[in-house]
Structure 1
Amino acid sequence: MAELQVHDRFLQPGARWHMGSDCHSLMNPVTRNWLLDRGSLTRRLKLLSGNEFQVIALRNETGPLLPEECKLLDLETGASGWIREVYLAGLGRPWVFARSIITCLDREAGDSPLFGLGEVPLGTVLFGDAPYQRSEIEVCRYLENGQAGQQDAEPLWARRSLFSRRRNRVLVQEVFLPQLWEELRKTALVK
């Protein structure tokens, strides 16, 4: 049920995405550091969790893309692509919901690992031996986070960027869940 609530964030019409560099004043330093970091999120989550990290696969199949995704990938509205949805979890708790759209025109040319990752982090391919080029990071702030009864709960933040190599493109969208911020606060208190 929780994954459906998070997934619905991508279906919200009119979600306002902004260039990350334009949103500095809306984010505290910790949020800014995590959302705008251009390196591997997998690496950071592994470090934070002391390697108690796992990918929980939710969806890994061809399907219709959302209109906004088609626009970002320069595809016709209604196009299909490879959809991968996972939780990135640390210490047994989901920290990030990730939705990746993969359009590989060079599929036969050796990029098939993108389609059969299962519970292997996508970052191992995107930041691997032949790294992909990353576009600017865009961010979105969802004002209510779906946690009824928590008036002081932090908003949900999401980010997205496009990774490209040759004719292959991967749109990566990540929603940073409250459990991640809780863990970061605990870690800061320990130090």
Structure 2
Amino acid sequence: MQVIYRFSQPGLQWNTIAHWRSLMASTNRDWLFDKGSLTRRLRALSDDEFKVIPLREEAGPILPQECQLLGLPPGGRGWIREVYLVGFDRPWIYARSVVGDRDTDGSDSALFKLGSVPLGTLLFGEKSYQRGEIEVCRYEDACNASRQPAYPLWARRSIFSREQTNILVHEMFLPALWEELS
């Protein structure tokens, strides 16, 4: 399955809650700016009918904007993971996480073999990571994986840090999640 979501389209306006507070519905704001575990919230919403569908887990080139956010030189490489977070057999979230090659040590080897295990189990686990500021953007003309228009799509990003490891996590909230919440 080829994924066509892009988190670094030209013209995307990533902003903090101060910008979006009056421009989005309270339900959107509650989910997009929640600093807790998205995995826990999705499990609760789905009555544990939740799963992770891996789309991509591999080393490769990091997008220029991702390099910039992670403080890496242009053309950087790293570990890229793309998944769907699914509730009631419907994709609710498309997530992309990126770890730069220089940003890992042996204690984070579990990052590279998650498979269908949610990243949130590591980020919010026993040795939890510190989450940076959440930024959100609204896609005006994004498409979902079936290439059907979906207006609008909201996405968020933040960097999780622990010791020398930094993980950039992008999450796109798909229409099926908002439908479930309505």
Output the TM-score relative to the length of structure 2.
Answer: 0.92
| Alignment partner of 1:35 is 2:32 | yes
- For residue 84 of structure 1, the aligned residue among 64, 81, 84 is 81
**1:85-104 aligned within 5 A:** 85-103=82-100
Cα distance in 2, alignment partners of residues 30 and 48 from structure 1: 14
- For residue 107 of structure 1, the aligned residue among 105, 125, 142 is 105
**1:2-41 aligned within 5 A:** 4-6=3-5, 9-41=6-38
**1:128-143 aligned within 5 A:** 128-143=125-140
* Counterpart code for 1:5: I
Identity %: 56
Residue 144 of structure 1, CA deviation:
2.5
Cα distance in 1, alignment partners of residues 17 and 112 from structure 2: 29
Does the residue aligned with 1:63 lie in a helix, a strand or coil? Answer: strand
* Counterpart code for 1:123: G
Match of 2:180 in 1: 183
- CA deviation string 1:52-71 (max 9, x = no partner): 00000000000100010000
* Counterpart code for 2:105: R
Q: CA RMSD in A?
A: 1.7
* Counterpart code for 1:125: L
- CA deviation string 1:124-150 (max 9, x = no partner): 000000110000100010012437887
- For residue 120 of structure 1, the aligned residue among 117, 122, 127 is 117
**1:161-172 aligned within 5 A:** 161-172=158-169
Residue 11 of structure 1, CA deviation:
4.1
Residue 154 of structure 1, CA deviation:
4.1
Q: Is the radius of gyration larger for structure 1 or structure 2?
A: 1
* Counterpart code for 1:27: M
Match of 2:55 in 1: 58
Output the TM-score relative to the length of structure 1.
Answer: 0.88
Cα distance in 2, alignment partners of residues 5 and 74 from structure 1: 25
Cα distance in 1, alignment partners of residues 73 and 13 from structure 2: 21
Match of 1:70 in 2: 67
Cα distance in 2, alignment partners of residues 156 and 130 from structure 1: 32
As a proportion of its length, which structure holds more helix?
A: 1
Contact 2:67–2:74, Cα closer than 8 Å, also in 1: yes
Residue 169 of structure 1, CA deviation:
0.5
Match of 2:41 in 1: 44
* Counterpart code for 1:92: D
Cα distance in 2, alignment partners of residues 172 and 81 from structure 1: 13
